[in-house]
Amino acid sequence: MQKQSLTRDQVKFYEENGYLIGLPPVFNSGEVKTLDDGLTKLLKLLHPGEDSKEIREWHETSRFLYDICMNENILDYVESLLGPDFFMWGSNFFIKEPHTGSTVGWHQDAYYWPLHPQDSVTAWIAFLDSDEENGAMKVIPGSHKAGILKHQRASGTDSVLTLECEGGQFREDAAVSLVLKAGQVSFHNDKMVHGSPANRSDRRRVGLTVRYSRTEVKCDLSVNPYFKAYLCRGKDIYHNNPVGAVPDQEFGRLDRRHLSVEEAGVSAEKKLWNS
């Protein structure tokens, strides 16, 4: 299979802006139907009272998700951004049902993640069309160059996050919506400021995020003791992280207490302050 490497101009755009869209679909219409059918099966594994946010790191127990995370075309693109040696470590769904008022406030992923150095790429896979009407993710171009910004607790907000970027550190009017057709993938830097509005449409918005890092990146296991790395390409000469096992069942739950992004952000921040 021929590699789907990014062009020099695409890599330069990502490096300067912190995100990339406009790539050909990774999954065709038939494969998109398979993605949707698989998600339906995963949702049936949830217990009463749980929602789709619980489907986090289920690539460890579901071969269906593991294979999506290891899709060769996606890995080709990630290799263009991270280089030849990288691993996958995280996945979770972001689903917005029609006419839901919840938002995601401006934030940086790297603020919450106990990883060093901060050198990760997120692939956002559209299971359904994602646009401005149904709450597409928005990014602030170039914001990744400013490093980790100050975050504060927000009150009186519809955001699912309460730790958000403090105002005045970037221009909100510069925001760009990452509009994707089902089967397309966007990429963004771990320090990119991003968020998303409510879904006011009659349509569902479904995205699966997958996280990739260069092999030198190390997780602080005192903050996240469950961290598992899955080598995608190249060699891991550092051996900084526990290695995950490839799942042997097509669909399976992962029963584990996860740190919320709030807890992870606070824990990582305390580690930084005390180091």
Distance CA 178, CA 14 (A): 13
Query: How many structural domains is the chain composed of?
Result: 1
Per the domain annotation, does 66 fall within a domain?
yes
Per the domain annotation, does 3 fall within a domain?
no
| pLDDT of the residue at 101 | 85
Range of the domain at 92: 8-274
- Could you tell me the CA-to-CA distances from 102 to 92, 168, 263 in Å, in that order? 18, 23, 20
Which is nearest to 60 in space by CA: 228, 264, 207? 228
Q: Which residues pair with 245 in a beta bridge?
A: none
Q: Are 185 and 123 in contact (CB under 8 A)?
A: yes
| pLDDT of the residue at 171 | 85
Pairing of strands 138-139, 230-233: unpaired
Which is nearest to 4 in space by CA: 28, 20, 25? 25
Residues 57, 183, 138, 269, Cα dihedral to 10°: 20
Per the domain annotation, does 239 fall within a domain?
yes
Task: Name the residue type at position 225.
Answer: P
| pLDDT of the residue at 272 | 42
Per the domain annotation, does 1 fall within a domain?
no
Q: Beta-carbon neighbour count of residue 274 at 10 Å?
A: 6
| pLDDT of the residue at 8 | 97
User: Angle 145-79-265 (CA atoms, 0-180°, nearest 5)?
Assistant: 45
Q: Are 126 and 207 in contact (CB under 8 A)?
A: yes
Pairing of strands 163-165, 151-153: antiparallel
The runs of H, that is alpha helices, within 18-169 are 29-43, 63-69, 72-82, 109-112
Per the domain annotation, does 36 fall within a domain?
yes
pTM of the model: 0.91
Per the domain annotation, does 267 fall within a domain?
yes
| Sign of CA pseudo-dihedral 180, 92, 264, 231 | negative
Q: Are 119 and 83 in contact (CB under 8 A)?
A: no
pLDDT tens per residue across span 32-75: 999 999 999 999 999 999 999 999 999 999 999 999 999 999 99
Kindly give the confidence (pLDDT) of every residue in the chain, 275 residues in length, as a single tens digit, with 9 standing for 90 and above.
678 899 999 999 999 999 999 999 999 999 999 999 999 999 999 999 999 999 999 999 999 999 999 999 999 999 999 999 999 999 999 999 999 988 888 899 999 899 999 999 999 999 999 999 999 999 999 999 988 888 877 665 555 666 776 777 788 899 999 999 999 999 999 999 999 999 999 999 999 999 999 999 999 999 999 999 999 999 999 999 999 999 999 999 999 876 555 555 555 444 443 33
- Return the CATH number at 264: 2.60.120.620
| pLDDT of the residue at 265 | 52
